[in-house]
Amino acid sequence: MSRMMLADFDRDVGCCSCLGFLRMAGREMDSFTGEHPDFLLDEGYRKRTVFPAKDRAICRDKPVKETAHLTRSEDSDGYKMVNEYVRQGTIGRGSYGKVVLYQSINDGMQYAIKAFYKSRLSKVRVSSSETAMTDVHREVSIMKLLEHPNIINLVEVIDDPESDHFYMVLEYVEGKWICDASGACGGIGEYTARRYLRDIIAGLIYLHAHDIVHGDIKPENLLVTRNGTVKIGDFSVSQAFEDGNDELWRSPGTPVFTAPECCIGLSYHGKVADVWALGVTLYCMILGYCPFIGDSLQDTYDKIVDTPLYIPEEVDPELKDLLQGLLSKDPSQRLTLESAAKHPWVIREGGPIPIGSCRCKSESTGKDYTSAGAKNDNCT
């Protein structure tokens, strides 16, 4: 295997050794080789249209700072600087850019900054009418609307029209992924998995109430703070909708977390697909591996659609019931987030997930939105 192929393979191995087979957003689905279940061939999946959201709900106590001037320099010790931020080191790399740790000389706080080259992203086609830069702008526009204790916060956007550089300044979580294979059976144990799941559900309920589909829920995008709070990150393939119309045609982010209805190239409901990914994530947290992994991308899709869900006999009966509900192959029978939040296994320790009402003002019309999610002091 060549060095480049090895690098690609390492990048594609997700948390808990789950093979991610990462793809660029917008790549067309491979044709499905197996026999289609009847519910996946419903004509409704073929004819529905996704409408862009025109009336976005703003749910922030403090707006995202927007900076149109960029100064790249060095501090007295020779460390590179971007405006007020001093470079500390690289955190990671993605399909479109890299994430770098910086420290602000103004407040002393550390931030994770996603750095992009606009010219490069503008040349990458993700669909017939959109480029990778379109995805970045969409990610920014979505994150500008949101503020929640279980969602990574966007602090600042640096976009100098005279520069090819584009920066997203994000809250830095000095923690870990939710899945570190430290518990029984290679997972993290039921107690920790339950605590993490409650936070993820709270964040997803909040997103869905604001007509936002995450599109790439997986352990790698779920970070744990030092105090044990889970925060949802990476909105690079997320979508915002209006009037509850959450249908999508573009393929989701990571195939092993892809719902069956997404695997055959037809339209699907994004919120229901998020629930499936939540189920795969819970399965991974409990058992340390994903439920459906094939030898290739197409084989993975085939297994997701055709292979029955396997849950070991020793798994707690209530947990088994929850996993079966979240991982129902028929999206119409899949457990809803609201039902999952009230499931006996979820509320066994800690009681019901706290739900707070959020009165949001529309950016364009001032229309009120009421949304559910974990209680957020910024949303009253």
Task: State the catalytic residues.
Answer: 216
Strand residue runs (E) in 61-109: 65-67, 72-74, 80-82, 85-93, 98-104
Residue for token pair 């600042």? 156
How do the residues of the chain divide into helix, strand and coil, expressed in percent and rounded to 5? 30, 20, 50
String of DSSP letters for 280-305: HHHHHHHHSS-S---SSHHHHHHHHH
**Looking at the DSSP assignment, which residues form a beta bridge with residue 23?**
none
Q: Is residue 271 marked as binding?
A: no
DSSP H helical ranges for the chain:
3-12, 43-47, 118-121, 132-143, 190-209, 270-287, 297-306, 317-326, 337-341, 344-347
- Phi first, then psi, for residue 169 (nearest 5°) are -95, 115
- Measured CA to CA, the distance from residue 340 to residue 334 in angstroms comes to 10
Is residue 373 within 8 Å of residue 205, measured between CB atoms?
A: yes
Nearest residue to 90 (alpha-carbon basis) of 112, 65, 62, 68: 112
Binding residues for ATP: 114
Per the annotation, binding residues are 114
